[in-house]
Amino acid sequence: MTVGLLKDIVKECLPNVALLGLDVGKKTIGLAVCDPDWCVATPLKTIKRTKFTKDIQAIADVMAEYDIGGFVIGLPVNMDGSEGPRAQSVRDFALEMANHPNIFGADPWIALWDERLSTASVESVVDSFVEKRKTKINSKSSGLIDKLAAQVILQGAIEYLSRNA
């Protein structure tokens, strides 16, 4: 299973497969899916993190349900382009996924995509919407932010893939 920055592995990203976007956090993993034509990313669900083996099994279940051929994981890069402990944690998560071909198979690839400001932009939109609607949605505890952030990450990646694959 290939793991790397999307720009570095773009030629290995076979078209005509659905992709799964992941926003990997300390407590949750937001998921989004896109169609095999790489047109539109759609928020899917949020997984509450427990143990790594349970987390990857939940991802594998989604992979099987949607016939996923590749993963795009948001890489939390600092504003200056450097990588800190959170980015290393996400890299470790991706490498650990790759170490489980018995769960994911050998074919899917894992691309890391710069997710700078994805969560912040989603929070801003959701907070604005919730305030305007005066609803009682708790966007943080409902997992809404996480799956929308995964959507933003995946949409950016599929736009890049459409131009460069």
At 46-97, the pLDDT tens digits run 999 999 999 999 999 999 999 999 999 999 988 888 888 999 999 999 999 9
* β-bridge mates for residue 68, sequence order: 18
What pLDDT score was predicted for residue 134? 45
Query: Does residue 89 or residue 1 have the better pLDDT?
Result: 89
Question: Quick one: average pLDDT of 25-40?
Answer: 96
Q: Residue 119: is its pLDDT beyond 90?
A: no
What pLDDT score was predicted for residue 3? 92
Q: How many domains does the chain have?
A: 1
pTM to 2 decimal places: 0.85
Give the containing element (helix H, strand E) for 19. Answer: strand 18-24
CB under 8 Å to 69, separation ≥6 — which residues?
14, 16, 17, 18, 19, 36, 107, 108
Helix, strand, or coil here: 33? strand
What pLDDT score was predicted for residue 14? 82
CB under 8 Å to 31, separation ≥6 — which residues?
20, 21, 22, 23, 43, 44, 45, 46, 47, 59, 62, 147, 150
Query: Minimal CA–CA distance to 82: which of 40, 122, 116?
Result: 116
What pLDDT score was predicted for residue 104? 87
Identify whether the C-beta of residue 66 lies closer than 8 Å to the C-beta of residue 18: yes
Between CA 96 and CA 83 the distance in angstroms is 19
What pLDDT score was predicted for residue 115? 84
* Residue 151, CA distances (Å) to 42, 88, 135 in order: 6, 22, 23
pLDDT tens string 120-160: 555 555 555 554 444 444 445 567 888 989 999 999 999 99
CATH code, domain with 31? 3.30.420.140
What residue numbers bound the domain in which 157 lies? Answer: 3-164
